[in-house]
């Protein structure tokens, strides 16, 4: 008795017979939400960092400037004054952040239609670069504030608020460049054709051929499934 006529036969094309991992397990939940949560959290912290750097000195967050008796109130007012040049830089920072928010929303904040088991190397690399960049800018930010406080205490010339705003503006430029590199690596790099594949549906022999770019096996599989659901006829 052949497999086609036996009542106990099973078709390898029936996905219900394949051993599948449960989508309610802890491993599946972690792989689905952990990476996205880390990416969103890190992106949010990096996005609000320029705003925080600009606002914190005005709010008196650094007690070394206001509690130090060696620093006169007039010096603090002069140090935190914002000239026309400073206001222009603040306006450019605002537009940079708006454009960055639009770019992030348009490119990266899209619903995921698949959960892949392996780490997306380029995405992980961009997150590491973003974390290192944010940490470095915050580190030198606090260093500059402390040096300005010490310089005022001994009567030396210190970094004013305009210089601090220029520093924050460079941080905004760096974030835009990181976003640009991320778009190239994750969205544009694989558009250049590298391979030519042919997909055949075995029950009826319907086939399609596609040229694909440099993709991993798992991402190529997702891409093929999307093409199958949108371009193959209903079977």
User: In the prediction, which pLDDT does 136 show?
Assistant: 95
Q: Are residues 72 and 103 in the same domain?
A: yes
Q: Are residues 107 and 220 in the same domain?
A: no
Q: Are residues 174 and 211 in the same domain?
A: no
Q: Are residues 60 and 78 in the same domain?
A: yes
Q: Report mean pLDDT in 10-residue bins for the chain, 235 residues.
A: 48 54 59 75 91 86 60 68 88 94 79 68 88 94 82 69 90 94 84 87 88 85 88 85
What is the distance, to the nearest Å, from the Cα of residue 22 to the centroid of all Cα atoms in its chain?
Answer: 29
In a domain, residue 58? The reply is yes
* Domain containing residue 84: 26-188
Q: Tens digit of pLDDT for each residue in 65-109? A: 555 565 666 666 777 778 888 899 999 999 999 999 988 887 777
Total domain count for the chain? 2
Three-state DSSP state, 131: helix
In a domain, residue 126? The reply is yes
Contact 189, 213 (CB under 8 A): yes
User: In the prediction, which pLDDT does 213 show?
Assistant: 86
User: In the prediction, which pLDDT does 134 show?
Assistant: 94
User: In the prediction, which pLDDT does 124 show?
Assistant: 85
Q: Are residues 183 and 87 in the same domain?
A: yes
Question: Residue 196 contacts by C-beta under 8 Å, 6 or more apart in sequence?
Answer: 209, 210, 211, 212
Whole-angstrom distance, CA of residue 23 vs CA of residue 52: 40
User: In the prediction, which pLDDT does 25 show?
Assistant: 58
Whole-angstrom distance, CA of residue 76 vs CA of residue 74: 5
Whole-angstrom distance, CA of residue 100 vs CA of residue 142: 25
Q: CA 46, 50, 52, 57: dihedral to nearest 10 degrees?
A: 150
Contact 47, 175 (CB under 8 A): yes
Q: Are residues 75 and 135 in the same domain?
A: yes
């Amino acid at each position: 008795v052949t497999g086609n006529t036996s009542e106990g036969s099973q078709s390898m094309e029936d996905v219900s017979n394949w051993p599948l991992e449960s989508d309610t397990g802890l491993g599946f939940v972690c792989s689905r939400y952990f990476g996205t949560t880390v990416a969103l959290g890190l992106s949010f912290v990096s996005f609000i960092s320029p705003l925080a750097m600009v606002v914190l000195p005005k709010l008196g967050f650094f007690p070394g400037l206001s509690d130090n008796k060696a620093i006169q109130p007039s010096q603090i007012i002069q140090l935190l004054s914002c000239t026309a040049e400073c206001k222009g830089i603040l306006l450019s920072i605002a537009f940079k952040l708006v454009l960055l928010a639009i770019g992030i929303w348009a490119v990266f904040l899209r619903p995921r239609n698949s959960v892949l088991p392996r780490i997306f190397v380029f995405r992980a690399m961009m997150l590491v670069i973003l974390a290192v960049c944010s940490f470095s800018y915050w580190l030198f930010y606090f260093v500059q504030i402390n040096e300005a406080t010490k310089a005022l205490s001994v009567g030396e010339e210190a970094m004013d608020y305009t210089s601090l705003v220029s520093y924050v503006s460079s941080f905004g430029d760096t974030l835009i460049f990181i976003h640009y590199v991320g778009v190239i690596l994750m969205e544009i790099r694989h558009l250049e054709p590298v391979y030519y594949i042919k997909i055949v549906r075995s029950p009826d022999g319907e086939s399609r051929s596609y040229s694909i770019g440099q993709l991993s096996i798992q991402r190529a599989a997702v891409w093929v499934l999307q093409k199958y659901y949108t371009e193959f006829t209903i079977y």
